[in-house]
Chain A
Amino acid sequence: MRVSDSNLSTSASIPPLWKWILSGTLVIHFVILWTVYSSNWRRSSTQDRWLNSFHPYLFGLGLGSEMVPVDWGRAPSADLPTRLVLQYEDKALIYLDTKTMTWDRLKQRQLLGILASTIEAGDDESVTQLLASVVAHAEKVQGNGFELVRVEKISDPEVGYEEIYRASIVHEENAPLRFVPALEPQRTIRRVVETGGAQR
């Protein structure tokens, strides 16, 4: 017996129960998505709970970032020009700069944004971890040890770069790099002498 095309088509469609389940999943998917997007810069405790509960799902979707990069800049404070300066002997090297024009400039801006945020938040351990990684990389590339690291930021264009962090770098054998901060995390001082020496 010949079965009509319409009957075939109906029998092979998604069953109504599954459509309900699929529809519910779609709604939940977009609610979670909206929660991620809407909590990009500021989040309520409810949003926080939601995001924590759905971590595995979000990470699977590639949405495991605390700050989803969608705006053309970052947060207003993180957008301010920042640079990381390494010193050895009497030379200073601008090693990371938000004004750089190299192909990895977005990464440099992001890394400096994280660094400046952690310095301003007084999160010493994160600062140490980040700096240890950056300085080790710089020493490998430059082939020499550095003595001092400074992070400078322009908060007021009329004032220019101000130091937000300065630390001596301590090299010990068979031990990770140590940093001895010379400034309180929140304290800033105006730079008097322009940085000289090699620039990257």
Chain B
Amino acid sequence: MNPLSVPVAEWNRFWFRTDFKIHHQAIRLGLGIAALATFISHLLFADDWLGNEGWLNPTAGLYLVGQGIEGTGAEFRWSLFYTYPTLLIPACWIGIVASVAIGLSAAPRVAAAVAVAILVMLHHRAPLLIGRGEPLLVPFLLYSLMLPVGAVLFQSKTKSSEQSVAPTWKSELATVGFRLMQVHFVIWILFSVTSMLGNEGWWTGEAVRQLLVDGQGWLPVSAATVTLAEYLAHAVVLVQLAFLFAIMLPPFRSVGLVLLSLFLIAALLVIGDWQYVIILAGTSIPLWSECRSSTPAVLPV
């Protein structure tokens, strides 16, 4: 027997299985809300920050991305907003409409493609000014292109027709998209916790204390005591590590949801970044989507 046959079979079972149901509408609802929050945030600052006479005007923006300097990849950073900054606001509104469409699963693939195009152009316009979590949202919108379609408003009708005629390859491709989201999210949390551990301030609590002193979060500045900062810093790191363990072990998946909720609450208390919290909550939905399969799911992510 080929020693690789078992791992290959398990790999295929993980990425291409067709015997479970993907709650694509719930996933798209989460992504739609996350995209909506992102576009609203861009709408609020776009003109004042990236307009012709904004804080970071197109000339300064081009310079900072390294235009004309080899090795910076600036030649690939195409964005309509360098040439036509007046399109920023209309583009954000189009993004908002697309986000609503994604959330309602109405023409979700077209809407996701439109949202990705606009978000990527915004990112290319000012890559160092993007919000936390935005680099997570764009790939998720792309992954969602592989999910099945079916509008929320016409759920029962489309569900039955789709199930009866959908060829297997569509289900397999949907599983690939679904798994991409799950694995990517876990990698993001791993990235988050390792970034924190790479910063001495998270070991001493000073990173959190500084953030509390700045008063960016929902906690009052008076709460910026060394003791509370130390507790919070270690708790945030531990919660992320525990989340990673919980998510890998199916029986503890629900504990993972609690841990992620704690992490998001801590984020609001310390940094008050509602956009990041909404993006993380929205993109985490694939982790909690139920698997109704004839055989038990073998792999957790």
B23-31, B70-78, B94-102, B248-256 - the one binding chain A: B70-78
> Which of A10, A65, A81, A140 interacts with B128 by CB under 8 Å?
A65
Interface residues on B, range: 35 or more
> Which of A13, A30, A58 interacts with B187 by CB under 8 Å?
A30
Check B134 against A52 for contact (C-beta < 8 Å).
Answer: no
> Which of B44, B173, B207 interacts with A79 by CB under 8 Å?
B207
Q: Determine chain A's interface SS by DSSP, over half rule.
A: helix
> How many chain A residues have a CB neighbour from B under 8 Å?
62
Check A52 against B73 for contact (C-beta < 8 Å).
Answer: yes
Inter-chain contacts of B11 with A (CB < 8 A): 23
Check B120 against A62 for contact (C-beta < 8 Å).
Answer: yes
Inter-chain contacts of B54 with A (CB < 8 A): 133, 137
Q: Cβ of B220 < 8 Å from any Cβ of A?
A: no
Closest approach, in angstroms, between the C-beta of A179 and any C-beta of chain B? 13
| A-B CB pair tally, cutoff 8 Å | 180
Q: Which residue of B lies closest to A40 (CB)?
A: B195
Check B207 against A106 for contact (C-beta < 8 Å).
Answer: no
Closest approach, in angstroms, between the C-beta of B45 and any C-beta of chain A? 5
For chain A, residues 89 to 148, give those with C-beta under 8 angstroms from any C-beta of chain B: 98-99, 101, 103-107, 110-111, 114, 125-126, 129-130, 132-134, 136-137, 140
The 5 closest A-B CB pairs, nearest first, are A62-B138, A12-B167, A55-B73, A133-B60, A13-B168
Residues of B participating in the A interface, judged by any CB pair closer than 8 Å? 11-12, 15-16, 18, 44-45, 48-49, 53-57, 59-60, 63-64, 71, 73, 76-77, 116, 119-120, 123-124, 127-135, 137-139, 142, 167-169, 172-173, 176, 180, 183-184, 187-188, 191-192, 194-196, 198-201, 207-208, 210-211, 214-216, 236, 267, 270-271, 273
